[in-house]
């Protein structure tokens, strides 16, 4: 078969076939009389093997050694697996760095580039699954707060202007940048570059302002999925566990026994249900 047919059957372009021949990875026979290349089914299979290995990013010298029998295919694949794992670790670190940096809403003119370069050039050693859990827990809690939070203003909210003033006061107290994009009783605004929409939740004595991120899917904790799932469970379970322990400790000190056990269980169950409803709603 000619080079066009070999290209169609192998999925390797004709220029790449010629390049592989030049590099010594493929040596097709020559037809008598016109000296044209004559590719065989074996050549096509070799091209498919080269294509597969190149899709795994195996270097050409390694492929040449495999085709010549100088290196076993299994050994080459194991070596490439190590290389890919190292690259995956580097990409994971880069993804984590991007997520951490994006959460800080950096500005081009105020970003501490030297600190970023220092962290990138001297990354912290890779930690185990259960190491750094407290920092990751705080990170997840911060991201959840960015997605949805509420606060109680100093006075009642009856007009759009009072709503805006309450949001400005909140931003000033938290020392974050506030930008109003739409005034009203359902205002839209941004805090440190994150867009939000808010609504008033009237209470018996004080109003409550609830704020929801307009694009919560863009707020990512940057954690591995398995670790993030575990931390989400801990975030729901920790408050009732702490409540249970606190009530049991207080009851034990006061009564000297376990008479407060059922009260502790009921209160903790109530806290747990509240956190579950908070997550579901």
Confidence tier at 269 by pLDDT (50, 70, 90): low
| Least-confidence region, from 50-54, 178-182, 201-205, 235-239 | 235-239
Whole-angstrom Cα distance, residue 267 to residue 235? 17
Query: pLDDT, tens digit, for every residue of 17-65?
Result: 999 999 989 988 887 766 678 889 999 999 999 999 999 999 999 999 9
Q: What's the pLDDT at 277?
A: 45
The confidence score (pLDDT) of residue 197 equals: 96
Tokens of 145: 């707060």
Q: How confident is the model at residue 202 (pLDDT cuts 50, 70, 90)?
A: confident
* 14 touches 41 (CB < 8 A): no
Q: How far is CA 110 from CA 107, 178, 196, in A?
A: 5, 17, 23
Question: Binning pLDDT at 50, 70 and 90, where does residue 133 land?
Answer: low
State how far the Cα of 227 lies from the Cα of 137, in Å rounded to an integer: 10
- In the predicted model, what is the mean pLDDT of residues 272-276? 55
Residue 113 has pLDDT above 80, yes or no: yes
pLDDT of the residue at 183: 94
Q: Is the pLDDT of residue 248 over 70?
A: no
Residue 125 has pLDDT above 60, yes or no: no
DSSP state letters, 73-135: HHHHHHHHHHHHHHHHHHHHHHHHHHHHHHHT---TTT--HHHHHHHHHSPPPP--TTTTHHH
CATH among 1.10.3720.10, 1.10.8.60, 1.10.1660.10, 2.60.40.10 for 3-71: 1.10.1660.10
Q: Is the pTM here over 0.85, yes or no? A: no
Residues near 36 by Cβ (< 8 Å), separated by ≥ 6? 2, 30
Query: Two tokens at 268?
Result: 């903790």
Mean pLDDT of 7-13: 93
**pLDDT given at position 216:** 87
Report pLDDT for 250: 63
Place of tokens 């954690």: 223
Ramachandran sector of residue 32 (left: φ over 0; alpha: ψ -120 to 50; beta: rest): beta
- Are 53 and 46 a contacting pair, CB within 8 Å? no
């Amino acid at each position: 078969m000619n080079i066009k047919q070999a290209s169609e059957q192998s999925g390797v372009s004709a220029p790449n076939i010629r390049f592989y021949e030049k590099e010594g990875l493929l040596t097709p026979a020559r037809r008598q009389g016109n000296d044209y290349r004559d590719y065989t089914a074996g050549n096509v299979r070799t091209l498919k093997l080269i294509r597969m290995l190149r899709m795994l990013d195996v270097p050409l010298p390694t492929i040449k050694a495999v085709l010549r029998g100088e290196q076993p295919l299994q050994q080459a694949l194991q070596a490439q697996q190590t290389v890919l794992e190292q690259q995956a670790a580097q990409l994971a670190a880069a993804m984590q760095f991007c997520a951490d940096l994006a959460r800080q809403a950096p500005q081009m003119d105020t970003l501490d580039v030297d600190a970023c370069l220092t962290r990138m050039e001297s990354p912290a050693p890779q930690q185990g699954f259960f190491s750094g859990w407290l920092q990751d827990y705080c990170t997840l809690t911060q991201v959840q707060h960015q997605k949805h939070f509420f606060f109680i203003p100093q006075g009642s909210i009856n007009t759009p202007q009072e709503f805006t003033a309450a949001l400005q006061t909140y931003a000033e107290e938290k020392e974050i940048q506030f930008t109003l994009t739409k005034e009203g009783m359902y205002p839209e605004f941004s805090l440190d570059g994150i867009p939000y929409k808010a609504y008033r939740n009237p209470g018996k004595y004080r109003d409550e302002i609830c704020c929801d991120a307009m694009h919560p899917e863009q707020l990512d904790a940057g954690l591995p999925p398995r670790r993030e799932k575990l931390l989400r469970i801990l975030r729901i379970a920790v408050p009732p566990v702490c409540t249970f322990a606190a009530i049991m400790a207080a009851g034990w000190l006061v009564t000297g026994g376990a008479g407060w056990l059922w009260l502790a269980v009921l209160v903790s169950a109530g806290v747990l249900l509240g956190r579950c409803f908070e997550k579901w709603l």
